[in-house]
Amino acid sequence: MDGYTPIRSFVFMQSVHPTANTLVSHLSLDAREVSFSSRESIEREVPQPLVEACEDLYGKNVRVHRVGLATDGDLTASLWVDADHLSLHNRLTALGYGDETVIPDRPAIRMDFRYSERTTSQELSSLTLAATRRFEPQEATWIESWSPEEIRRRALFSDKTTEEYAMELGYYRDHRGGRYYRSYELWIKAYPDAGAQDANLRKIPGYALLSPEARRLLARQYSIYSRLCDLSPETVTATRHKIGLRLLTPETLVHGTRYDHEKISSIASRGILSSEFRGGNEKRMCRYCSEFFRVPRIMSVREYVEYYHTPEAFFTTMQGLVPFYVDRLESELFPKRSSDEAFVAFFIDTEHGDLSELLDREAYRWTDAEMRELSKSLPYDPQSPEAGRMSAILCGIPSRYIAWVLVSNAILRSPEDIGHIRGSFGPDVFIFSLDGEIVPERRVSVMEDDTPNWLRS
């Protein structure tokens, strides 16, 4: 679409606060253009007697261009519907209440509803709603969208980035196609299959209590996550093989969890996904986020295992500088040498280009109001120790970006568990033992006489 169509909408100012029994003749509205970006916006732009009819048409994807409520002389309420994007049934229905006309550059059908001086607001509402109920749901082929270049041209004299400018306008970006829509609701209408995503979001605990801005952010992130899940497996093979060098970098994220077959199958299928998106509501520092640890510097897997096994030193000044040591936070969720419990850790190489948009909203380092609403308990200083050490990715990361799996000794002793991990993630995902070595693809049961030294300790 070349250029863009200016959007003109008006907020209806009531001279009398209407009730069901308010006489329509006490209200007045000259014919004005309207442009609904959401169901919520209808009540702000339309006089009360026409709200229910406009909501009904909006729900059926029938576009309303203009509304009017004449109270001088000819007592008529009018709705102008878009004539270019009506199904045959809806066109014939609209013509039963009026005639075709043209409002500035747009064909429309004007539907007129006459009333008397004694007609109440509720009576006119019932009259117009009875008419719109004759319409049938149709495809929303009228919804406009804009490319990033078109939005950038509109923001030419703004000091904001394209994304910031679009978000300020309340626009929603479809991260599958990259185009911008006036709202998340209109995007849902434009893409019927997006309704499934919307239904999934509405099931998330606490979603209904979020602000529209926070919901839009959550929908944006979930859209990116879903698109990455649909990519071809070949897109990440090179990344997985690149780290055959066995070097971790500060861009590597690590997620640890207790092992069980069902959990491994879920992660292999859906990735490391926030519990809210999996039907749960676990108590964690950051809601709606999957939590990770950052690798502190370039190191091998073996060096990283040594790193998180080494207690941290803290100092107290009550009696001078007296050191005391505590286990690192990582050790609570990562495989441990001294434990027979079954734990796994997943390594994500975030340098893969496809992940840049998904990682853009990192809760420890992004401080806008929407992210604060979603992650209330986090420190919001991007320079804080927590921000340098931990990461919380809104929604989560698809399984295709898991490059390595680190397993505990208890799992290593079980050919069944190793086989389940390898079968779930495939041969491109390397499995590492706690000594930093890749577990052979074919491994027999560990017998007493061939137990490695590092397992005997």
pLDDT digits (tens, 9 = 90+) for 428-442: 889 999 999 999 875
Please name the helix (run of DSSP H) or strand (run of DSSP E) that holds residue 108, with its range, or none.
strand 106-114
Using the structure block, give the residue that is written with the tokens 């006036």: 182
**Rounded to whole angstroms, how far apart are CA atoms 94 and 100?**
9
Q: 340 and 412 in contact (C-beta within 8 Å)?
A: no
- Please give the sequence-ordered ranges of beta strands (E in DSSP) within 212-330, or none if there are none: 247-248, 252-258, 272-273, 289-294, 299-300, 312-316, 322-326
Q: What pLDDT is attached to residue 222?
A: 84
Q: Quick check: helix, strand or coil at residue 280? A: coil
**Rounded to whole angstroms, how far apart are CA atoms 76 and 163?**
44
pLDDT digits (tens, 9 = 90+) for 274-285: 888 877 665 556
Distances (CA, A) of 60 to 41, 127, 137, 195: 16, 18, 4, 14
Q: 209 and 218 in contact (C-beta within 8 Å)?
A: no
pTM: 0.60
Q: What pLDDT is attached to residue 128?
A: 94
Contacts of 266 (CB under 8 A, 6+ apart): 278
Would you give the distance in Å from CA 171 to the centre of its chain? Answer: 14
Count of other CB atoms within 10 angstroms of residue 388: 14
pLDDT digits (tens, 9 = 90+) for 246-257: 688 888 999 999
Would you give the distance in Å from CA 428 to the centre of its chain? Answer: 29
Mean pLDDT over 64-90 rounds to 88
| DSSP 8-state assignment for residue 311 | P
Model confidence at 325, pLDDT cuts 50, 70, 90, reads: low
Contacts of 137 (CB under 8 A, 6+ apart): 59, 60, 61
Q: 136 and 89 in contact (C-beta within 8 Å)?
A: yes
| DSSP 8-state assignment for residue 1 | -
Two tokens at 102? 């043209």
Q: 335 and 345 in contact (C-beta within 8 Å)?
A: yes
Q: 187 and 181 in contact (C-beta within 8 Å)?
A: yes
Q: 401 and 254 in contact (C-beta within 8 Å)?
A: no
Two tokens at 14? 């009531």
Q: What pLDDT is attached to residue 378?
A: 59
Please name the helix (run of DSSP H) or strand (run of DSSP E) that holds residue 31, with its range, or none.
strand 29-33
Using the structure block, give the residue that is written with the tokens 């064909």: 107
**Rounded to whole angstroms, how far apart are CA atoms 419 and 27?**
74
| DSSP 8-state assignment for residue 119 | -
Nearest 10 degrees: Cα torsion 104, 109, 110, 111:
-160
Mean pLDDT over 135-142 rounds to 92
Two tokens at 428? 């491109």
Model confidence at 379, pLDDT cuts 50, 70, 90, reads: low
b/e per residue 349-367 (b: at least 16 CB within 10 A):
bbebebbebbbebbbbbbe
Distances (CA, A) of 171 to 117, 208, 284: 42, 20, 31
Two tokens at 101? 């006309």
**Does 230 score more than 50 pLDDT?**
yes
pLDDT digits (tens, 9 = 90+) for 275-319: 888 776 655 567 888 889 999 999 999 999 999 998 876 556 666
Model confidence at 129, pLDDT cuts 50, 70, 90, reads: very high
